[in-house]
Chains A and B, each alone.
Chain A
Amino acid sequence: MTDPLTLDRFRDLADAYGGVMARWPIADHAAAQRLAATPEGSAILDAAMFLDERLDDWAVAAPSRALADRVTARAGAGVGARASRPGRRWWWSGIGLAATFAGAVAGAAVVAATPPVDMVAGTTSFGDVAGMDN
């Protein structure tokens, strides 16, 4: 299972992840460090690091305190909004029946006018990116 790390693969990893080996797959770290000590490996890392440093020129300002406060403030109302409450399920089901009929008509119009939700709780959705490779 432990294939030796060739210089070609070492170069591929540097081409993909850059010159900071902390970003490389953990399984390759030990062998990569040995290759990095060779002149060839060192030159590959230096070239990759040069681009890394150039990319690091693009800094983004930290969030403001006001934004952090706004985000935190919404937590109180939002936490557990989707959690089920076993003792109240009968109550919700009664309301749900009525709401289902009432909402069906309005819901059809809303769904037609609302952009698709791209994420639901605990799951991921990638359908919108299929075929966007390149």
Chain B
Amino acid sequence: MSAPDPDAELVRRIGRGDPAATRLLVAAKLPRILGLATRMLHDRAAAEDVAQEAFARVWRSAATWQSDRARFDTWLHTVVLNLCRDRLRRRREQTSDTLPEVVDPAPDAECLMLEAERGSQVAAAIAQLPDRQREAILLVHYQDLSGAEAARALDVSIEALESLLARGRRTLRTRLVSPQGTTTDD
């Protein structure tokens, strides 16, 4: 919390219109942001739209960015999470009109075919987790946010975050890893 925000100076430079800083930020953050959106949405094109929208918000906010309010990286992850949640919500609403039985967002078949088989199993197992457990796993394991940052992005306490993580990982262990420590391959 009290540690200086490592991105603050870069964002300030972007706010002053520094193109080099803009390129640096895109190089540093775009892979992470696209990774989170892809894993949330299981749809590459939609994930790219979300990444572009998230950066558009960065550009709009850079000149007035206040580093004392939130770490930039946490704020950016929150923006992406909210954009993805909004898309998932709309997808669920559209799906529920035609397929009432489908509740959880599932990876689309085309996307899964493009992913490696083992990765597809992991993707499918994570997609079946409850929303908050899935988001906690994505933020901590794949995005490497600290517990404090992930808790802030999800607006929960550290204890609640650890509970979400532990429950999610427990479920994933039963789905992906056999008790003997060998992986399941259907």
Binding site for B on A (CB under 8 A): 12-13, 15-18, 23-26, 47-48, 50-52, 54-55, 57-63, 67-68, 70-72, 74-84, 115, 118-119, 121-126, 128-130, 132-134
Output the residue of A26, A58, A115, A134 with the most chain B CB within 10 A.
Answer: A58
Number of A-B contacts (CB under 8 A): 187
- Whether A71 contacts B82 in the complex (CB less than 8 A), given A51-B177, A134-B130, comes out as no
Determine whether B46 belongs to the interface, using a CB cutoff of 8 Å to chain A: no
The smallest C-beta distance from A77 to any residue of chain B, in angstroms, reads 8
Q: Which residues of chain A have C-beta atoms less than 8 A from B82's C-beta?
A: 118-119, 125, 128
Given that A51-B172, A63-B34, A124-B75 are known contacts, is A68 also in contact with B146, CB under 8 Å in the complex?
Answer: no
- The answer to whether B169 touches A18, judged by C-beta atoms less than 8 angstroms apart, is yes
* A87–B79 alpha-carbon span in the complex (Å): 31
Asked if B34 contacts A59 (CB within 8 A), the reply is no
Set of chain B residues within 8 Å of A128, measured between Cβ atoms: 82, 85-86, 89
Q: Is the interface of B mostly helix, strand, loop or mixed?
A: helix
Evaluate contact between B140 and A71: CB separation under 8 angstroms: no
Tell which of B62, B70, B140 touches A23, judged by Cβ atoms closer than 8 Å: B140
CB–CB B123/A58 < 8 A: yes
| Total number of B residues with any Cβ neighbor in A under 8 Å | 80
Partner of A58, one of B69, B119, B156, B161: B119
Contact of B59 with A129 in the complex, beta carbons under 8 Å: no
B141 and A80 contact, CB distance less than 8 A: no
Q: Check if B60 sits within 8 Å of A81, measured CB to CB.
A: yes
> Is B181 a contact of A63 with CB atoms below 8 Å?
no
A23 to B111 CA separation, bound complex (whole angstroms):
29
Can you pick out 25 interface pairs between chain A and chain B where the beta carbons lie within 8 Å of each other? A12-B166, A16-B165, A16-B169, A17-B147, A17-B162, A18-B140, A23-B140, A25-B147, A54-B172, A57-B121, A58-B123, A58-B142, A60-B34, A67-B48, A68-B27, A71-B30, A72-B26, A79-B62, A80-B15, A118-B85, A118-B86, A119-B57, A121-B61, A124-B75, A128-B85
* Assembly CA distance A77 to B62 (angstroms): 12
Q: When chains A and B are docked, how far (Å) is the Cα of A59 from the Cα of B38?
A: 10
Given contacts A58-B123, A59-B116, contact A122 B66 (CB under 8 A): yes
B-chain residues with CB within 8 Å of residue A16 when the two chains form the complex = 147, 161-163, 165-166, 169
Cβ contacts under 8 Å, A24 to chain B:
147
CA distance A66 to B135 in the complex (A): 28
Interface residues of B in 63-99 (CB under 8 A from A): 63-66, 69-70, 75, 78-79, 82-83, 85-86, 89-90
